[in-house]
Structure 1
Amino acid sequence: MAANLQAQTNAQVSADSIAYQLQRKKINSMLDMRKVRFGQYSQSLNEHTGIFGFQTKGDIRRSNDILMDIVKTDDNIYKELKILLEYRAFQQRQIQSHSKEAEAINQNYVNLISKLRQQNAALKTSVQKVHTMQYIYILIIVFMFASILFLISRKSKVKV
């Protein structure tokens, strides 16, 4: 049963670890995408397609659109980070509960071993008492047999 529990826990931890790693990869890819978009934003700020090297409304709109994409990406990154932190908290709770279960199982084993040792000691004492009683019974039987022989031999001497 403990091995089955251990196997289930290991499978769950493995699945959670895979989910955690996938979540990390997703966040890292989002961060890479944000980095690219920020580079595009910096580039768009330097673009001046207007007359005399000024920025046009179109340039400013493109910059603002890129900036809005960056903000949306940031929002998504925050959401995914929250999920990642929830995975981490879940893993920590799971490890703590597994630790408590293992500790309880170990304590039960210790209690069982202690109980079995006490029973073993009681059985040894009981066996020792039985051996002592057997020895006493044998002595009594031998004494009775000797007494009977003594009485028989005494009775035979008296008749002679």
Structure 2
Amino acid sequence: MYRRTSACFAYLIPTSCSLLLILLAFAPSFARQQTTDTVGYESQRRKVNELLAQRSERFGQFDESLRRRTGIFGLKTKKDMQASIDILKQIVLMDNDIFYETKTLLDYKEFEKSQIAEQASEYDGRINGYIKTISKLQQQQEQLASQISALEKTNQLYEGLVILLGLTLLGGGAYVFIKRQKLTKT
């Protein structure tokens, strides 16, 4: 009696556990994807920071070139002014690169956000499917448990009938045996 109940539950429990394991199996892949995206974002951010550091260095060179006066009586020469203009051109080109790389960084971040939102909705759909499956299995488990209890009650009834029949046959056999013994003695 107990073996049947435990066998039924033993079948359903691993099924529910396997669904839970499937859910947990997606967590590492999501974390791995998020780590890969973060590494790409971080490398792009480092690139922008390097460009900003280079720009700051160039601006320092520009400031230094403005202070340079190699002409007669400490005046600026055409060469000094041209050097300042060239450095300023380099700063403007560097600014263009910074704007481009910053835009790429922002686009990358937006892409990450949309990708995470898509993954979240996909995982929500999967989780909802798993929840439905689990609730369906729980309902089946409850149905099987009620069937088991009904079968156990029927089994108890049949056992009672078999015992009653056995006692009746035993009593009848004893009665016949005793009657025969009385007949053979007389």
For the aligned pair, the TM-score class normalised by the smaller chain equals: 0.7 to 0.9
1:89 alignment partner in structure 2: 110
Paired residues, number: 152
Q: CA deviation at 1:136?
A: 5.6
Give yes or no for the alignment of 1:105 onto 2:105.
no
1:37 alignment partner in structure 2: 58
Query: AA paired with 1:119?
Result: Q
2:42 alignment partner in structure 1: 21
Q: How does 1:56-71 map to 2 (within 5 A)?
A: 56-71=77-92
Q: CA deviation at 1:117?
A: 1.6
Q: CA deviation at 1:70?
A: 0.3
Matches of 1:140 and 1:9 in 2, distance apart? 61
> Using a 3 Å threshold, how does the CA distance of structure 1 residues 63 and 99 change in structure 2: closer, same or farther?
same
1:52 alignment partner in structure 2: 73
Q: CA deviation at 1:58?
A: 1.5
Matches of 2:58 and 2:137 in 1, distance apart? 70
> Using a 3 Å threshold, how does the CA distance of structure 1 residues 67 and 117 change in structure 2: closer, same or farther?
same
1:158 alignment partner in structure 2: none
Q: Unaligned regions of 5+ residues in structure 1, if any?
A: 150-160
Contact 2:48 2:102 (C-alpha < 8 Å) held by counterparts: yes
Q: CA deviation at 1:104?
A: 2.4
Matches of 1:84 and 1:71 in 2, distance apart? 20
> Higher relative contact order by CA 8 Å / sep ≥ 6: 1 or 2?
2
2:31 alignment partner in structure 1: 10
Matches of 1:11 and 1:129 in 2, distance apart? 50
Matches of 1:13 and 1:134 in 2, distance apart? 57
Q: CA deviation at 1:54?
A: 2.6
1:119 alignment partner in structure 2: 140
Q: CA deviation at 1:106?
A: 2.4
> Using a 3 Å threshold, how does the CA distance of structure 1 residues 124 and 11 change in structure 2: closer, same or farther?
closer
Pick the aligned partner of 1:72 from 93, 100, 114.
Answer: 93
37-46 vs 83-92, which moves further? 83-92
Matches of 1:27 and 1:124 in 2, distance apart? 64
Residues 40-77 of structure 1, C-alpha deviations (whole Å, 9 max, x = no match): 11111122222333322221111110000000101101
Question: TM-score, normalised to structure 2's length?
Answer: 0.65
Matches of 2:97 and 2:159 in 1, distance apart? 91
1:128 alignment partner in structure 2: 149
Contact 1:16 1:87 (C-alpha < 8 Å) held by counterparts: no
Root mean square deviation, CA, Å: 3.2
